[in-house]
Amino acid sequence: MLSIVARKWFPYLVVSFFFISQIPFLHADADLYLSHSRGAWTDEGLYTLQLRNWLNTGNWNLQETDAFLRAPLFNAILLPSFLIIGTNWLCARITILLLVIVTCLIIIRLNVFKPVTGMVLLALLFNPVVFHYSHLAMTEIPATCFLLVALTFFYRSFQTKKVSDAVLANVVIGVTVFIKISFVYTAAILPFTTAILFLTTKNSEKKHFQKQCLISIFTAIGIGLLFYAVWYLPNKTYLTKIAAIQSELKFDNNLHDLWKRIKFTHTLYRDDPFMGYSVYLFYLNIWLVVMMLWKRKKIIEQPLLLFCLIWLGLELLKFINVYLPSRYLISTAMVNMILFFVLLNELKFSQILPVASLLLFGIGFSMVTLSFTKRTFQIKEANKYFEQTLKQNHTSAVGNWTSVCCWNSKVYSRYCVKDYGNQQELLRKPIVQLILTETDEGESDGAFAAIGYNLKAHADSVVTFKIANWQLNGYWISH
């Protein structure tokens, strides 16, 4: 009786412990080892920039940055909180953290990983990459959360045989794509999974798999048509321009260079403090899949396992990217760990599973503890300074770092990257109070230097401070 009660309440205790562990990090900067790029520090501001500018100043410009077009439903998730509580930095972070908690509660309630739900969540939530991004207001965690909910309803549909559960899984996949458009590959997971199940099944469930397959295919087509008609066509010129600026930075066309890039990225993350053990866990997953094949277990007849394998296979395509920051691999780390537990369960390693969970939790929690001892609050301090010094009088602050460092000042913040827009126009309207940039203008690809704009010559004074690995200059502009 005691073990049944403990098993029932253990998942809720795990989620509660996770939430409590997050509280000390809500005002802290991203951990220094979290990312090799500046995105973990700047993208919280950049992806919410247009929404905050609109709510705080009434200015709305769809082409001010491509962030809204790349993550429309992410902004929709934050909108109710911003309207009720305000557009402050903490509100955004808590909203995303609560979304993670709700996702966990759905997984517990629908009991997908029974009877080991608590053990799965214990290892998953304290994966250091997942843990740290869960308190940052960025797009990847919400998209991954919805993808996990889709997996939950997908698996539930095979237990209940309800078409409504299958439809819900596909609808949630659609939401995932529009939370961040780069998750468009997830629209292929359900069609591939259900098609394989339909083609390989010969028992009475074949008809159910056929319905699942048709629903998934039509949903994927619907997502594509919706994106093309509602999102791409109205913004075709702008999106083409953005693609032209960014595409050469994203892929290697030469196969030899592509292979070198994959090897480099693999080595980079294998040796990474936070992502490293996920890479070794991936090696172990390969070995477990081989073991399943050797034991002649039918992978293609296991819905949950097949879903995870296809999801992970699509995730691995990210390694062809030239630019692959750790936040792009949040969903990869999640499905990699879920697959590990699914494989252990399929191989009937019931005694190993709790030990494996506790080991992974121990590794993750140790890293989280170390992160706690070396937290910094540089972004919080920058916000406090600019909140006191910037005036909200129809003026603006220019520079990508202003989106996060001037968050709580509620001033009109402007995105700035070389060749992205007209920098001269950016500096004229509305009147600029502050230009915040790295000392080498690295975050804007030298946007000001490219137009011969001498920042020091136009500044009354300069404030200098550092966030993570980047030295910043705040130029107070004279007029």
> What is residue 446's DSSP assignment?
S
Class of residue 43 by CB neighbours under 10 A (exposed 0-12, middle 13-18, buried 19+)? buried
Q: Report, as an integer, the average pLDDT of 159-187.
A: 91
The span from the CA of 395 to the CA of 417, in Å, is 20
Instruction: Give the pLDDT band of residue 335 (cuts 50, 70, 90).
Output: very high
Question: Does pLDDT of 336 surpass 80?
Answer: yes
- Work out the average pLDDT over 82-91: 94
Assess contact for 279 and 269: CB atoms under 8 A.
yes
pLDDT at 252 over 70: no
Confidence bin at 21 (pLDDT 50/70/90): very high
Residue 423 has pLDDT above 60, yes or no: no
Distance CA 263, CA 260 (A): 5
**462 vs 238 pLDDT, higher one:** 462
d(C-alpha 155, C-alpha 307), whole Å: 9
Task: Give the Cα separation of 350 and 357 in Å (integer).
Answer: 11
Percent helix, strand and coil across the chain, each rounded to 5? 70, 5, 25
Predicted confidence at residue 212, as pLDDT, reads: 85
Q: Is the dihedral of CA 154, 160, 165, 166 positive or negative?
A: positive
Say what the pLDDT of residue 117 is.
Answer: 86
Structure tokens at 167: 């439809």
**How far is it, in rounded angstroms, from Cα 363 to Cα 336?**
16
Q: Is the pLDDT assigned to residue 356 strictly greater than 70?
A: yes
Mean pLDDT value of segment 172-200: 91
pLDDT at 422 over 60: no
Model pLDDT, residue 248: 43
Interacting residues of 96 by C-beta distance below 8 A, sequence separation 6+: 77, 134, 135, 136, 137, 138, 141, 142
For the purposes of burial, counting CB atoms within 10 Å of the CB of 212, is it exposed (0-12), middle (13-18) or buried (19 or more)?
buried
Q: Which pairing describes strands 470-477 and 432-438: parallel, antiparallel, or unpaired? A: antiparallel
Answer whether residue 324 shows pLDDT above 80: yes
DSSP 398: E
Helix (H, G, I), strand (E, B) or coil at 170: helix
- What is the token pair recorded at 461? 């004074």
Q: Is 452 helix (H, G, I), strand (E, B) or coil?
A: coil
CA distance 67 to 42: 12
Query: What integer is the mean pLDDT of 217-235?
Result: 86
Backbone angles phi, psi at 477, to 5 degrees: -90, 135
Residue 205 pLDDT: 73
Span 426-449, pLDDT tens digits:
666 668 899 999 999 999 888 888
Count of CA atoms in the C-beta half-sphere (13 A) of 256: 0
Helical (H) or strand (E) element with 433? strand 432-438
pLDDT band at 2 (very low <50, low <70, confident <90, very high): very low
Neighbours of 370 (CB within 10 A): 13
Band of residue 300 on the pLDDT scale cut at 50, 70, 90: low
4, pLDDT greater than 80: no
Q: Is the pLDDT of residue 246 over 80?
A: no
Q: Residue 388 half-sphere exposure, CB side, CA atoms within 13 Å?
A: 5
% residues pLDDT > 90 (the chain):
56
pLDDT higher than 90, residue 175: yes
Do strands 396-398 and 470-477 pair parallel, antiparallel, or not at all (unpaired)? unpaired
DSSP line for 218-254: HHHHHHHHHIIIIIIGGGHHHHHHHHHHHHHHHB--S
pLDDT band at residue 135 using 50, 70 and 90 as cut-offs: very high
CA–CA distance, 265 with 251 (Å, rounded to integer): 13
Arithmetic mean of pLDDT, 57-73? 87
375 Cβ contact partners less than 8 Å away, ≥ 6 residues apart: 24, 25, 28, 29, 31
Given the structure tokens 């997953």, which residue do they identify?
285
When pLDDT is cut at 50, 70 and 90, the band that residue 1 belongs to is very low
Per DSSP bridges, beta strands 412-414 and 470-477 are: unpaired
Specify the pLDDT at position 302.
83
Query: What is the model's pTM?
Result: 0.92
Strands ordered across the beta sheet of 396-398: 412-414, 396-398, 432-438, 470-477, 459-467
Mean pLDDT: which of 56-70, 163-177, 346-360, 382-396 is highest? Answer: 163-177
Please give the Cα distance from 162 to 215 (Å, whole number).
Answer: 12
Instruction: With CA atoms as reference, report the closest residue to 148 among 196, 185, 102, 194.
Output: 102
- Cβ neighbours, 10 Å, residue 210: 16
- 209: tokens are 């798999």
CB 376 within 8 A of CB 29: yes
> Predicted confidence band at 369 (pLDDT cuts at 50, 70, 90)?
very high
Residue pair 136/30 in contact (Cβ under 8 Å)? The answer is yes
What are the angstrom distances between the C-alpha of 311 and each of 59, 151, 268, 351, 449? 39, 10, 22, 27, 44
Q: Under a CB-based contact definition with an 8 Å cutoff, are residues 181 and 227 in contact?
A: yes
Q: What is the mean pLDDT of the chain?
A: 88
**Do residues 143 and 180 make contact, with C-beta atoms less than 8 angstroms apart?**
yes
